[in-house]
Amino acid sequence: MVRRPGRGAFPGAQPSKVGAPNSQGPGGSSVKLKLAAVAVAAGLALTACSGPIEAGSAATVGDRRITIATLDNNVTEFQKALEAAKIAPDQLQQLPGTVTQAVLLQLANVSQFSQLEEQNGITVSEGEVDAFYASNNGQAAVDQILLQRGVSPVLARDWLKVSIGSEKLAAKLGGGTGEQQMAAGQQKINELASKIPVTFSPRYGKFDPSQGWLPSDRFGTAPAGNGAAAG
C-alpha cells in the first residue's frame, strides 16, 4: 500500500487508520514506499462536508475550486488506466466509495495539502519525485499502487509531491524527524488543515466528516469490502 499524505486511510477512508508501508507491485513484488505517515486524510475528513457550491464545481477547497471538468478528466484517465492494467473496478477492494467519489477525494486531498505546504514554505522538486519513483521500483509500479487508492495517473506526481511535502511539513512543525517530533508535527498539520475547509457538491453523494462517503442508491454503492469512505 502506498502511503498517502496523511494519517488515516486514503481520502474517503476511515481517518483513524494508517496505510501499511508495504504493497504488492506488479507480479507480486513488494513495493515499499518510504514516506512517514503524516496527517492528511484526518484533516480532510474533519473539515469536509457536502453542500451547495458554485455552478461547475465538483468541490471547493479553501478558496480554490475543483471543476467538474477536472474531475471528469481524472475519472476518464483513471478508468483508462484500469483497463490498461486489466483491473476491474470491483477488484479495487480498498477503493474509497465509488470510482468518482474516490477520485474526487484524492483531488481534494492534494489541493488541501498543497495549500498547506505553500503557506508554510514547503517545496518539493520534480527531481525528488523522480528519485522517489526510482527507489520504489519505478513509476509504473508506484502509479499502479496509487491507482488502487483512487489516484488518477494524471494526479500521481502531484499526489507524491504533497506526500513528500507533508513529511517535510511535519518535521518542520514538530521540530525534527524523531517519532515524537513527527507526531507533534502531525497534530499541528491537523489543526492547520481545519482552516482549509472542503465542500463537495451534493451531486456526488453525501460526505460525513466521521464516516466519509455514505452509500447512495443514486450514485451506486462501493464494491464489497470497500466501505463507504475513502482513505
pLDDT tier at 199 (50, 70, 90 boundaries)?
very high
Q: C-alpha angle 64/70/73, rounded to 5°?
A: 165
Which pLDDT belongs to residue 7?
Answer: 38
Residue 166's nearest CA partner among 8, 6, 44, 34 is: 6
pLDDT confidence of residue 44: 58
pLDDT score for 59: 95
User: Residue ranges per domain, the chain?
Assistant: 22-213
Question: In which band, very low, low, confident or very high, does the pLDDT at 170 lie, cut at 50, 70 and 90?
Answer: very high
Q: Which residue has the higher pLDDT, 139 or 36?
A: 139
Q: Is the pLDDT at 197 greater than 50, yes or no? A: yes
Give the three-class secondary structure for 156. Answer: helix
Residue 21 has pLDDT above 50, yes or no: no
